[in-house]
Structure 1
Amino acid sequence: MNQSNLSLPSGCMLRKATSADQWSIRLLVFSAKLDPTQLNWQQFWVIECDAYGGQSLRNLVACGQLRNFSGTQELGSLVVASAWRGRGLGTLLTQHLINTATQPLYLECLGERLAQFYSRFGFVAISFEDLPQFPRTRGKSSLKEKFRFSELAKRWLRVPVVFMEHRGNL
């Protein structure tokens, strides 16, 4: 997918998160009702925008992280503040995270609408059984261990979880 025609709105910037961002990141993730565990600000990228047309007040309006697992990475905690949706920020941030990934990339999302969003970037739905099972290394758990709870929720509670693997831009 060619994202070169997309750019950040005026007054916005994409940057690596800092320790000062950790509470704003938590608030964005909580507001979207996403998994609040494993929020490690060091793994996040954020988009920050002017609050009031060029004044010095800046707000974190989007965030996303690449979680590191044994042999894989997970694109997770991708949130755009509701007032900033529809401006391409989620697309820009997703493409940036894909470009930044250094290992095979996976994600889990809720529902078909989000799965369709991610499929535009070359993610394809896979079964839980198709997730890689790397052994723990240097204290890093496997992605399959992390997704196990979601698989149980999907199977027993009918939660519409979709596991996806990045296979390049299709």
Structure 2
Amino acid sequence: MKQNNVSLPTECTLRSATSEDIWSIRLLVLRAKLDPTQIRWQQFWVIECNKQLIACGQLRNFSGAQELGSLVVLPAWRSRGLGSFLTQHLITQATQPLYLECLGEKLAQFYSRFGFVAISFEELPPSLKRKFGLSQLAKKLIKVPVVFMKYQE
């Protein structure tokens, strides 16, 4: 794994999400205009600062693969390395080949710093082709800048 040696601010903690976090997670995901349909708090890790949930991300399990998804940092807390810290942590937690989908070249560049490489839709495992099928359709029909990526150690 490519290391960025990012640490959390002293007032912040990284922890597994609990059932009490579900509404805060949903709010973060909705505000970021991400897909709110696949939110299961049990799959999330969160960063909490001063008793406020400021970042979240999850590892979704599929047959033969995992997806890094719903990675969000509150706007007021961005550019402090929290997204990088959370991404690195989720990579270390993955137990199967790890994939993600993101919108645009800027996000693809962000994830490439951690060892993710762009792949074609055809290179995705069958379980993720089903999930990402709508994104692929939008990419082809209306040129949505979706990038599919796989983690390479």
TM-score by shorter chain over 0.5: yes
Identity of aligned residues (%): 73
Write out aligned runs for 1:56-135 (5 A): 58-133=51-126
TM-score, normalization: structure 1? 0.88
Over residues 81-130 of structure 1, what are the superposed CA-to-partner deviations in whole Å (9 max), with x where a residue is unaligned? 00000110000000000000000000000000000000000000001011
User: How many residues are treated as equivalent by the alignment?
Assistant: 152
Q: Distance in 1 between the 2:13 and 2:107 partners? A: 24
Structure 2 Cα separation of the partners of residues 145 and 92 of structure 1: 29
Q: Pick the structure with more helix per residue.
A: 2
Distance in 2, matches of 1:146 and 1:6, equals 31
Asked if 1:48 is matched to 2:48, the reply is yes
Structure 2: segments with no counterpart, 5+ residues? none
Q: CA deviation at 1:6?
A: 1.7
1:138 aligned residue: none
> Could you tell me which amino acid in structure 2 is paired with residue 14 of structure 1?
L
> Which structure 1 residue ranges, 5 or more long, are not aligned?
51-57, 134-141
Kindly name which structure, 1 or 2, has the bigger radius of gyration based on alpha carbons: 1
Match of 1:53 in 2: none
Aligned partner of 1:146 in structure 2 is 131
Runs (4+) of structure 1 moved beyond 3 Å? none
